[in-house]
Structure formats: structure tokens, C-alpha cells
A = this chain, B = another copy of it.
Amino acid sequence: MSKPLLLQGGRVVTMDGARRILDADVLVEDGYIKAVGRDRREGRAKTPAIDCTGLVVLPGLIQAHIHLCQTLFRGLADDLSLEDWLAQRIWPLEAAHTADSVHASAMLGAAELLLGGTTAILDMETVRHTGAAFEALESIGIRATAGKCLMDAPSSPAGLREPTDKALSESADLCARWHGAAGGRLRYCFAPRFAPSCTGPLLRAVSDLAEKTGAVIHTHAAETPVELELVKRETGHDEIAYLDSVGISGPRSALAHCVWVDKDGIARLARQATNVVHCPSSNLKLGSGVAPIPEMLAAGCRVGIGADGAPCNNRLDAFEEMRLAALIQKPRLGPDALPAPQALELATLGGARAMGLEAEIGSIEVGKRADLVVLDLAGPHAQPEDADLVSRIVYSARAADVRHVIVDGRIVVRDGMMKTADVAEIRTNANKQARRLRRAIA
């Protein structure tokens, strides 16, 4: 699958069970982590090596809620509420997408993600052209679980609404084509947009399909009080309970946001081992609120993190999300709430769990996939160097500190440069397609 590779001489933040931080080499073979320790060089004179002296080796960061199809909409929908943001901008723009623009949007987003140290994403595409996104993800080399967005409720916008059967059969076809592609690097997820956009029968069918195919379910939940009220009025249930009742719960489900969840909802999420995906920038920018993440962690919930789409952030930067996740809880719960080690866990092991990949990624341990990030923290902004390393990563480091990125044992970013795609070409295509989309909704 890929040549052997030695990451030599770095300081390795393993995120293993003991959360060890080691001065160690990391040996990669066939896309897997083969060894973590000292003197791996011995007898391996021919193994190509990356000199990591003075650098930090991290598990690849994981963002478990991304909309790559929205990357082209960045800066086109600022300072609006979720409901206006969706109805006035995002839905019309998504409806105007072509296969070319979906491809360009995925390439732009994936380039930003990889250059910033995010090696794996759980992605929700739009209703059409999801195959074009997969083609982009296949070529650029990021680990991705992506799904076609499902919207079949009568109240959904006409430009995106589909008949239930069509939505489901196209999903099943995409799953058959892409789930496990690229040596398992690509996977499919079933992606109902959110409860108000979907009928009960669709949600139940999604739950069955996910069970049958071993794919995960990726949706939004409890983002705003308006959404909660809508679901309550239509179903008579709290949203988290309603989703549970139609089978959207458990370790195979990832619910983005969960800002407006009460004690009962938190208990239910914990009991079912449903994954919550925290999106701090997005929740602030759309005015949604601050999700009760420390309460969820205390209750035993599984929590990942994500930047959401570019227009509600406007970055796709895991460092930004980690830092904000730690900062925004403190005015409410005190300065020791969500300390740096917890923030780093959200972006590594938490994301791996949300993607159903905790046995494969999220830590640097022998037998896991070789998804690795090498950070250079020599900049003035990350000094002094003897301070706690996890604090330096969460509070001081930034996407621009990423030097090398490896996914499945393949070097996708080296010395801060994209190796699997031409960034100038990505930019040109993105701008051409973004102009066309803007004209289409003008």
C-alpha cells in the first residue's frame, strides 16, 4: 500500500491509554504503525526517514463534522441566524451545485484540512453529486467518511427535496460504490440533514441501512431552540428522544452540535453511547450557544469535534476548534473546565469514536493506521519550549505550524506543501466555481 517510512527523533504525543509522551521514532509500514520506540533506525538503513528532531509528532487530527460542499460558500453568509443562513444562502447555493463545483469545493476544503493537520473527517455532502466529492477525496488522500445529504420532508426546500425512495436508493448505491474504497480510507455514512428535513420512515430506513452495511449515521441535532420546538411540535418528543425512537442513536450515530440538550437528553446520549460532535466556532458564529460539553463528558458521553462548514466558521482548523472548545466553557463553569488534555482528546480519540474507527485511528499505537501530523513549535508564539506540551498544542499551536502530514502511511503534506494536489489549480477551480454559484443564486 505504501513504502516503509521512519519518523525519526520527534517528541511523540501518543494518546495511548496512559497518555504517554515519548521521545521516540515511529516506524510506518504498509500504511500501519509498526513500531514506536527508540533506535528504530537500527538495521533499517534503507528505510526512508523524515527527520523529526525538535518536532512534535501527533496522531492525525480528526474532525467529525464537516460540510466540504460548503467550502465554496465561505464568506458568503456571515452574521446571519441559522434559519436565515440556511434558507437565504446555504440551501440555494447547495441546490445550484454541479458535479464540478462539488469536486472543487471538496478539493479546496480537503487541502485546507490536510495542510492544517486534519487527517480524517466525517463529512456531509449536499443532496446531489456526492460521487464527485468522493473522487476528490480519493485523489487528495484524506481519510473521509462522507454521505449524501437526505431531505425528504415536505417542508424541505424544493431545490433539494427528494422522494424518500430515491434518496434511500441513491444512498445505498453510493454506499455500495464507496464504502471501504481506497483500501478502507474512504467510507460511506448515511446523512439525514436533520430531523425537521426528514420523514420518520426515512430516518427508520437509514437506521436499518446503517446496521446492514456497517456504515455510520451522520446528522445534526439540537442546534437551536427553533429546531427543538419544530421537532417537538411535529413529533411530540424532545429531539434526542425522537431520534433515538427512530434508531438514530448508539455508537454508530454522530449528532453534530447538541447545544440545547437537557439533563435527560445528556443521560440518554450517554446511555446509548451516541456520539456528540461539538462545533464551537459554528455554534458561536450562528449564535446557537455553548454546548454543555463538560457535563456530557462527566456523564460519560462520547464527544468529538468539528469545524462544520466553511461559511459558519470561517476556517476548517482543528487547532482553532480545540482552543475554542477549551475557552468557551470557562466563563460558565470556571477556568478549570475542559482543560487542554480533554480538548486534545476530542480532536483525536473522540473523533475516531464518532467515525467508528477507534480501533484504527486517534492514537499513535502499534497496529493502528499511520495517520500522523508533525508539528514545528519553534515559533515565538509557542515559546517557552519547556511548558506543558499539551497546553502548547491546544492553546498556542496553529494550523500553520504543521510541517508534515501522513495519511495511511502516505506523505500528503511535506514541509508545509501539499504533495497530492496542486494548490494553485485547486484555488483557480474553486474561484471559478464559486463565481458561477454566486451568479446562479443572484
Contacts and interface: CB of A to CB of B under 8 A. Distances in A.
B116 A381 contact: yes
Nearest to A76: B387
A128 to B, nearest CB: 21
A381 B78 contact: no
B396 A75 contact: yes
A290 interface: yes
A80 interface: yes
B339 A381 contact: no
A314 B339 CA distance: 13
A287 B384 contact: no
A262 interface: no
A112 B381 contact: yes
Interface in A36-92: 71-72, 74-76, 78-82, 85
A391 interface: yes
A129 interface: no
Contacts of A438: 386
A327 to B, nearest CB: 4
Interface string A314-343: 111100000010111011011111011000
Given A330-B284, A391-B75, A400-B398, A427 B378 contact: yes
A284 B430 CA distance: 36
Interface in A376-399: 378-381, 383-388, 391-392, 395-396, 398-399
A78 B339 contact: yes
Contact of A431 (B109, B381, B386): B386
Interface in A280-338: 281, 283-290, 313-317, 324, 326-328, 330-331, 333-337
A314 B379 CA distance: 13
Interface size class of A (residues with CB under 8 A): 35 or more
Contacts of A116: 381
Contacts of A336: 79-81
Nearest to A434: B384
Contacts of A392: 75, 314
Contact of A335 (B79, B111, B334, B335): B79
B384 A431 contact: yes
Nearest to A388: B75
A196 to B, nearest CB: 19
A108 interface: yes
B381 A399 contact: yes
A423 interface: yes
Contact of A426 (B380, B427, B430, B431): B380
Interface in A206-259: none
Nearest to A384: B434
Contact of A387 (B74, B283, B383): B74
22 contacts: A74-B396, A75-B391, A76-B387, A78-B395, A79-B335, A79-B336, A81-B335, A81-B336, A85-B335, A115-B380, A116-B381, A281-B327, A285-B330, A287-B333, A287-B335, A288-B331, A314-B392, A315-B381, A328-B328, A380-B423, A384-B435, A398-B398
Interface of A: 71-72, 74-76, 78-82, 85, 108-109, 111-112, 115-116, 281, 283-290, 313-317, 324, 326-328, 330-331, 333-337, 339-340, 378-381, 383-388, 391-392, 395-396, 398-400, 423, 426-427, 430-431, 434-435, 438
